């Protein structure tokens, strides 16, 4: 049987079309022309595109169909020679910085559906392959343990790029969580404890802890479902048995070494338009703003005390010299042996780096400047200095996370002292690392999205 070389449309009656029958060549560029109201859009979008999409959706499950918007059946006798289709509609341009060809044509919807259905995850610690498990499947496996077994449900906690542990703890408190496991030791967020910002810890959130009973299955399934809803930012659940799991308990179910299991995923888990799935740093845009130090120095021939730095960064007025930033600058000068009266361009490069990018965790004792009339609240305290540029980048990230509009990506202070770069956390992939750990055929969704069409089709075959 020969392959059809045309798309045949018979008696199309959609909108302004009056029993139109036409054959359109395949694998060629075809332009539909005509006066306004003649039915050009109806033929292209409602008939050809609508029928192609509808027939493709008829071939997939009802569950998958419910996740993708679809058009109504066109008023046409029949259409032959159609394949799955995409369309870029005639509509006003989208100002959303997250929009791309994939989102406009709905191709991303199909890719997200693919990964949510057949994607395979990997343990966040060792990379062991993990298959998706529903709350019922997790509950059934845990329910096979002996009665009286103590079970803990945990989730991994990661520190976003450029943020400190206090920021992570604040976010968890806002969600109502209290108990953590830090390097296998209990850690309560109700206590005023701090972690060493220069160290990396293995932090896990303790979601629930219970003892198995005969009548526990329903409560167990509900507890796991509640964990899935509460942990909208994560897709991994750690099932820990303090007394030790029976041999083979994690086989084919989770990571045998680190005890992580993968939740059953949905298409929205791979959407960079969803805050819970988008990268923490760039908020799903793929690009981030970083401070350019040269934009912070307005008069390099002047000293710090005489206005070398941008006024919004450090106010060199008498009041500014006695402020918290003034105490910081004086304390840094005493610690590293430089003068606030030296022209900025004459300061050694390593001193300029400390001012912009911090002390790399080295604590600085806040000293009382001799010219200050009042004692500042920070005097006498010891803390690391993160640097002016690093601090401003943190302000920017907090600013865009609070804003719900796309205008947040170009406020005035960003244009003045920051430049655009590829996001340092996701590398331009727009999604959180947990999402990118889910792969199909060895490739994550970002890699597939960047493939040339011919290569992508060959890969999917």
CB 250 within 8 A of CB 259: yes
In this structure, how many other beta carbons lie within 10 angstroms of the beta carbon of residue 252? 8
Residue 409 has pLDDT above 70, yes or no: no
In whole numbers, what is the pLDDT of the chain averaged over residues? 83
Average pLDDT (212-227) is: 77
Q: What is the pLDDT of residue 336?
A: 93
pLDDT tier, 237 (very low <50, low <70, confident <90, very high otherwise): confident
Q: What is the pLDDT of residues 83-115, one digit of tens each?
A: 777 776 666 655 666 777 777 777 788 888 888
Q: What is the pLDDT of residue 172?
A: 85
Q: What is the pLDDT of residue 55?
A: 79
Q: What is the DSSP string of 257-272?
A: TT-EEEEPP-GGGG-T
Q: What is the pLDDT of residues 38-90, one digit of tens each?
A: 888 888 888 888 888 887 777 776 766 666 666 678 888 888 888 777 776 66
Q: What is the pLDDT of residue 155?
A: 85
Average pLDDT (18-34) is: 88
In angstroms, the CA 45 to CA 60 distance is: 21
In angstroms, the CA 93 to CA 285 distance is: 17
Q: What is the pLDDT of residue 407?
A: 46
Q: What is the pLDDT of residues 342-376, one digit of tens each?
A: 999 999 999 999 999 988 878 889 898 888 888 88
C-alpha atoms less than 13 angstroms from C-alpha of 112 in its C-beta half-sphere = 21
CB 282 within 8 A of CB 427: no
Residues contacting 235, CB < 8 A, separation 6+: 121, 262, 263, 265, 269, 434, 435, 438
Q: What percentage of the chain has pLDDT greater than the value 90?
A: 9
Q: What is the pLDDT of residue 414?
A: 64
Q: What is the pLDDT of residue 344?
A: 94
In angstroms, the CA 394 to CA 170 distance is: 15
Read off the DSSP letter of residue 314: -
The residues spanned by each domain of the chain are 6-91, 120-264, 293-392
pLDDT tier, 340 (very low <50, low <70, confident <90, very high otherwise): very high
Q: What is the pLDDT of residue 230?
A: 65
In angstroms, the CA 66 to CA 258 distance is: 35
Residue 233 has pLDDT above 90, yes or no: no
Radius of gyration (Cα) for the chain, nearest Å? 29
List the beta bridge partners of residue 204: 156, 181
Give the domain 120-264 fold: Ribulose 1,5 Bisphosphate Carboxylase/Oxygenase (3.30.190)
Q: What is the pLDDT of residue 243?
A: 85
Helix, strand, or coil here: 78? strand
Q: What is the pLDDT of residue 351?
A: 94
> For tokens 């029976």, what's the residue?
246
Q: How far apart are the first and last CA of the chain?
A: 21
> For tokens 């010219």, what's the residue?
371
pLDDT tier, 403 (very low <50, low <70, confident <90, very high otherwise): low
Q: What is the pLDDT of residue 290?
A: 85
Give the lowest-confidence range in 106-110, 328-332, 377-381, 423-427. 106-110
Stronger pLDDT, 93 or 20, i.e. the higher one: 20
Read off the DSSP letter of residue 305: G
CA angle 372, 377, 378 (to 5 degrees): 90
pLDDT tier, 2 (very low <50, low <70, confident <90, very high otherwise): low
Q: What percentage of the chain has pLDDT greater than the value 70?
A: 89
pLDDT tier, 413 (very low <50, low <70, confident <90, very high otherwise): low
Average pLDDT (369-398) is: 84
pLDDT tier, 401 (very low <50, low <70, confident <90, very high otherwise): low
Q: What is the pLDDT of residues 262-312, one digit of tens each?
A: 888 888 888 888 888 888 888 888 888 888 899 999 999 999 999 999 888
Task: Read off the tokens for 407.
Answer: 């205008």
Residue 405 has pLDDT above 50, yes or no: no
In angstroms, the CA 162 to CA 391 distance is: 9
Q: What is the pLDDT of residue 339?
A: 93
In this structure, how many other beta carbons lie within 10 angstroms of the beta carbon of residue 154? 23
Closest residue by Cα to residue 91 from 74, 107, 110, 104:
104
**CATH number belonging to domain 6-91:** 3.40.50.300
β-pairing, 203-211 with 179-182?
antiparallel
CB 389 within 8 A of CB 293: yes
Residue 410 has pLDDT above 60, yes or no: no
Superfamily of domain 293-392: ABC transporter ATPase domain-like (1.10.8.280)
């Amino acid at each position: 049987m020969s392959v059809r070389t045309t798309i045949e449309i018979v008696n199309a009656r959609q909108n302004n079309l009056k029993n139109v029958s036409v054959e359109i060549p395949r694998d060629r560029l075809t332009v539909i022309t005509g006066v306004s109201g003649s039915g050009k859009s109806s033929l292209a979008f409602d008939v050809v595109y609508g029928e192609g999409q509808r027939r493709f959706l008829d071939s997939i499950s009802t569950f998958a169909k419910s996740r993708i918007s679809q058009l109504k059946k066109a008023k046409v006798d029949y259409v032959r020679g159609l394949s799955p289709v995409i369309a870029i509609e005639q509509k006003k341009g989208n100002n959303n910085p997250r929009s791309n060809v994939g989102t406009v044509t709905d191709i991303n919807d199909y890719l997200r559906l693919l990964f949510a259905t057949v994607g395979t995850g990997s343990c966040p610690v060792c990379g062991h392959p993990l298959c998706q498990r529903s709350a019922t499947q997790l509950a059934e496996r845990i329910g096979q343990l002996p009665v009286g077994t103590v079970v803990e449900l945990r989730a991994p906690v990661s520190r976003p790029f450029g943020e400190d542990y206090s920021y992570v703890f604040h976010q968890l408190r806002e969600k109502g969580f209290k108990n953590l496991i830090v390097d296998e030791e209990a850690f309560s967020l109700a206590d005023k404890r701090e972690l060493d910002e220069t160290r990396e810890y293995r932090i896990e959130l303790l979601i629930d802890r219970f003892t198995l009973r005969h009548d526990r299955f329903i409560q167990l399934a509900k507890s796991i479902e509640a964990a899935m809803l509460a942990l909208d930012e994560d897709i991994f659940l750690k099932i820990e048995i303090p007394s030790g799991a029976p041999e083979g308990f994690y086989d084919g179910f989770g990571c045998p070494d680190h005890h992580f299991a993968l939740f059953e995923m949905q298409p929205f888990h791979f959407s960079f338009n969803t805050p819970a799935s988008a990268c923490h740093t760039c908020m799903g845009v793929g690009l981030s703003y970083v401070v350019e130090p040269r934009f912070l120095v307005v008069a390099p021939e002047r000293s710090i005390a005489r206005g070398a730095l941008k006024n919004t960064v450090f106010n060199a007025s008498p009041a500014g010299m006695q402020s918290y930033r003034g105490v910081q600058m004086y304390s840094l000068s005493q610690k590293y042996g430089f003068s606030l009266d030296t022209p900025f361009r004459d300061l050694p490069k390593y001193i300029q780096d400390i001012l912009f990018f911090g002390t790399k965790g080295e604590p600085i004792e806040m000293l009382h400047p001799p010219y200050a009339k009042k004692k500042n609240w920070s005097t006498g305290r010891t803390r690391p200095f993160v640097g002016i540029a690093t601090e401003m980048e943190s302000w920017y990230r907090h600013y865009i996370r609070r804003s719900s509009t796309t205008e947040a990506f170009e406020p005035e202070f960003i244009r003045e002292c920051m430049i655009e770069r590829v996001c340092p956390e996701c590398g331009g992939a727009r999604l959180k690392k947990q999402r990118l750990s889910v792969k199909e055929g060895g490739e994550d969704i970002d890699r597939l999205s960047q493939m040339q069409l011919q290569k992508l089709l060959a890969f999917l075959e």
